């Protein structure tokens, strides 16, 4: 079976394809690709709270150590952004976090980050995939152990949290003495976000603050459906805000003080607005994926900032962070990072910055969204997945590759963006994006328009376009 890397590493079902043998295989492939540049050097290995993650990580770290690498293994479940921090601090060749992020509990994965702390770019993962296939076929001989060294245990938590003080205004947070809720969704954010908030004057009430390899029976994704318990806590205890991170703490979720789930797109827009106002000495623009709200474009125009559009996949935003071209980069899938931070999405710093914003402005997230709408106009964005039969998938692929229609559902198409999928932009400022999944018979349909009511219409238009 071919082992392939998606937008965020290799993921597979535990005990089916995700086995000790395949973990060793992928580790050997990564090591041999790195060896083509030079041998050895530091490597960081961490893991999340999934079933057997710590054991898979230990096997990986031991393999790297045996191959002559200075292998560092975290001593507890570790957020993906903390792995990025360790890579930079130790000037490592790269790092691997054993996590399937927000995927269902039967999955595990290997997120490989390169020496800059960013997710590996396609040209690197393609080399690794090729080397895996060569190892499987016998066309390449697996490297032999050259050392009896053991992995070195590390605990980066305190250093990582201390590093945030140069990026977050903890004084503003402390002075507000906010009462907050936090849901780590049984994941790696436990003992990170809640601890640093308590250290800075907040009262934090947590839910799902233990390890559960089944994540309560659902995917550890900070979605509206999964945050109902935290929502109840926010309302019953009259808290200022509810914060959530996903399984490996690289994504965020928020419940406003009135119990409203706030979309990632709107969070990105108001936070970018806040950073433009409070970090006036920061130069640079904003980056968003092709699937993310154009509300960022409107806020950027008001503040005189550039907009960079990227394909889906945080690695592309990471490149702009490395080049110091942006003050914020984000995706609609609830990932963001900021100037001076790592080229990797970080749910912990996202939650801290939003907490700072609430503390400084003394307003709810809903009130801030209403103010941005007043200044820049309202926009609502959402995505749905549409399952495809083989016949419909083939027909849709042909339609998307063909010359673009002049109108869809009565809306006039003014331009088409083929950066990643096919994005139809309409004359009323709305848009529709269709992206075929590379792993399942599904097309993802993204839409954005000026009202919640019209958003439902536009998503239905997209569905009809796909299935007709």
Rounded Cα distance between 90 and 43, Å, is 9
Rounded Cα distance between 434 and 420, Å, is 9
pLDDT higher than 90, residue 331? yes
pLDDT higher than 70, residue 340? yes
**Do residues 139 and 45 both lie within one domain?**
yes
Is residue 287, in this structure, part of any structural domain at all? Answer: yes
pLDDT higher than 90, residue 142? no
pLDDT digits (tens, 9 = 90+) for 418-431: 999 999 999 999 99
Which of the listed residues 101, 132, 155 is the one where a domain comes to its end?
155
**Do residues 75 and 180 both lie within one domain?**
no
Rounded Cα distance between 194 and 177, Å, is 14
CATH of the domain at 93: 3.40.120.10
Rounded Cα distance between 381 and 312, Å, is 16
**Do residues 279 and 168 both lie within one domain?**
yes
**Do residues 304 and 183 both lie within one domain?**
yes
Mean pLDDT of 221-249: 97
pLDDT number for residue 388: 93
Is residue 399, in this structure, part of any structural domain at all? Answer: yes
Rounded Cα distance between 247 and 212, Å, is 11
pLDDT digits (tens, 9 = 90+) for 375-403: 999 999 999 999 999 999 999 999 999 98
Is residue 5, in this structure, part of any structural domain at all? Answer: no
- Beta strand pairing status for 307-310 and 335-338? unpaired
Rounded Cα distance between 458 and 73, Å, is 48
pLDDT higher than 80, residue 130? yes
CA distances from 385 to 262, 382, 446, 460, 463 (A): 20, 11, 9, 12, 9
pLDDT number for residue 64: 97
**Do residues 221 and 133 both lie within one domain?**
no
Q: Which two tokens stand for residue 395?
A: 């027909």
**Do residues 448 and 461 both lie within one domain?**
yes
CATH of the domain at 456: 3.30.310.50
pLDDT digits (tens, 9 = 90+) for 148-170: 899 999 999 999 999 999 999 99
Which of the listed residues 135, 155, 175 is the one where a domain comes to its end?
155
Contact 386, 394 (CB under 8 A): no
pLDDT number for residue 439: 67
**Do residues 269 and 310 both lie within one domain?**
yes
> What are the contacts of 409-413 at 24+ separation with CB within 8 A?
409/457, 409/458, 409/461, 409/464, 409/465, 411/458, 411/461
Place of tokens 């993906």: 80
- Residue 358 structural domain: 161-376
pLDDT higher than 80, residue 1? no
Which of the four pLDDT bands, split at 50, 70 and 90, describes residue 143? confident
**Do residues 224 and 370 both lie within one domain?**
yes
pLDDT number for residue 467: 92
Which of the listed residues 105, 121, 155 is the one where a domain comes to its end?
155
**Do residues 406 and 260 both lie within one domain?**
no
pLDDT higher than 80, residue 103? yes
Contact 234, 253 (CB under 8 A): no
Is residue 179, in this structure, part of any structural domain at all? Answer: yes
Contact 43, 30 (CB under 8 A): no
Is residue 361, in this structure, part of any structural domain at all? Answer: yes
Name the residue among 167, 217, 160, 169 with its Cα closest to residue 188: 160
Rounded Cα distance between 247 and 81, Å, is 12
Is residue 456, in this structure, part of any structural domain at all? Answer: yes
Burial class (CB in 10 A: 0-12, 13-18, 19+), 375: exposed
Mean pLDDT of 120-131: 94
**Do residues 387 and 354 both lie within one domain?**
no
**Do residues 91 and 47 both lie within one domain?**
yes
pLDDT digits (tens, 9 = 90+) for 37-95: 998 999 999 999 999 999 999 999 999 999 999 999 999 999 999 999 999 999 999 99
Is residue 1, in this structure, part of any structural domain at all? Answer: no
Number of domains making up the chain: 3
Is residue 3, in this structure, part of any structural domain at all? Answer: no
pLDDT higher than 80, residue 8? no
Which of the four pLDDT bands, split at 50, 70 and 90, describes residue 468? confident
pLDDT digits (tens, 9 = 90+) for 12-40: 999 999 999 999 999 999 999 999 999 89
Which of the four pLDDT bands, split at 50, 70 and 90, describes residue 466? very high
**Do residues 261 and 197 both lie within one domain?**
yes
The mean of the pLDDT values for the chain is: 96
Contact 47, 56 (CB under 8 A): yes
pLDDT digits (tens, 9 = 90+) for 280-293: 899 999 999 999 99
pLDDT higher than 90, residue 404? no
């Amino acid at each position: 079976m071919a082992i392939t890397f998606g937008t965020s590493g290799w993921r597979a079902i535990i005990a089916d394809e995700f086995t000790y043998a395949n973990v060793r295989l992928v580790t050997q492939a990564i090591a041999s690709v790195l060896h083509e540049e030079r041998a050895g050097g530091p490597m960081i290995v961490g893991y999340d709270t999934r079933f057997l993650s710590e054991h898979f990580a230990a096997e990986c770290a031991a393999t790297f150590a045996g191959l002559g690498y200075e292998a560092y293994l975290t001593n507890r479940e570790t957020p993906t952004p903390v792995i990025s921090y360790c890579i930079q601090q130790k000037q490592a060749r790269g790092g691997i976090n054993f996590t399937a992020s927000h995927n269902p509990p039967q999955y595990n994965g290997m997120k490989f980050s390169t020496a800059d702390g960013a997710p590996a770019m396609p040209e690197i993962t393609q080399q690794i995939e090729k080397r895996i296939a060569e190892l499987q076929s016998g066309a390449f001989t697996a490297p032999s152990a050259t050392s009896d060294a053991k992995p070195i245990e590390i605990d980066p938590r305190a250093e990582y949290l201390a590093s945030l003080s140069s990026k977050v205004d903890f004084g503003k947070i402390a002075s507000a003495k906010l009462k907050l809720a936090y849901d780590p969704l049984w994941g790696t954010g436990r003992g990170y976000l809640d601890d640093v908030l308590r250290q800075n004057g907040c009262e934090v009430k947590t839910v799902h603050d233990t390890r559960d390899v089944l994540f309560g029976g659902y995917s550890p994704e900070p979605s509206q459906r999964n945050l109902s318990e935290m929502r109840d806590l926010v309302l019953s205890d009259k808290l200022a805000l509810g914060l959530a991170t996903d399984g490996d703490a690289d994504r965020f979720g928020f419940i406003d003080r009135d119990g409203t789930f706030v979309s990632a797109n709107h969070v990105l827009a108001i936070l970018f607005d806040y950073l433009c106002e409070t970090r006036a000495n920061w130069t640079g623009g904003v980056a968003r994926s092709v699937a993310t709200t154009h509300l960022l474009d409107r806020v950027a125009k008001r503040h005189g900032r550039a907009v960079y559009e990227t394909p889906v996949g945080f690695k592309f935003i990471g490149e702009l962070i490395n080049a110091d071209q942006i003050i914020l980069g984000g995706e609609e899938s609830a990932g963001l990072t900021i100037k001076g931070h790592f080229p990797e999405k970080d749910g912990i710093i996202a939650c801290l910055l939003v907490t700072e914003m609430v503390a400084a402005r003394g307003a709810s997230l809903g009130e801030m969204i209403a103010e941005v709408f007043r200044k820049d106009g309202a926009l609502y964005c959402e995505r749905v997945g549409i399952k495809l039969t083989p016949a419909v998938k083939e027909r849709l692929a042909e339609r998307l590759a063909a010359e673009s229609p002049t109108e869809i559902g009565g809306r006039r198409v003014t331009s088409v963006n083929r950066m990643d999928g096919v994005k139809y932009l309409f004359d009323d400022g709305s848009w529709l994006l269709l992206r075929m999944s590379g792993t399942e018979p599904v097309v993802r349909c993204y839409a954005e328009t000026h009202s919640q009511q019209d958003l439902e219409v536009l998503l239905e238009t997209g569905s009809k376009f796909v299935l007709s």
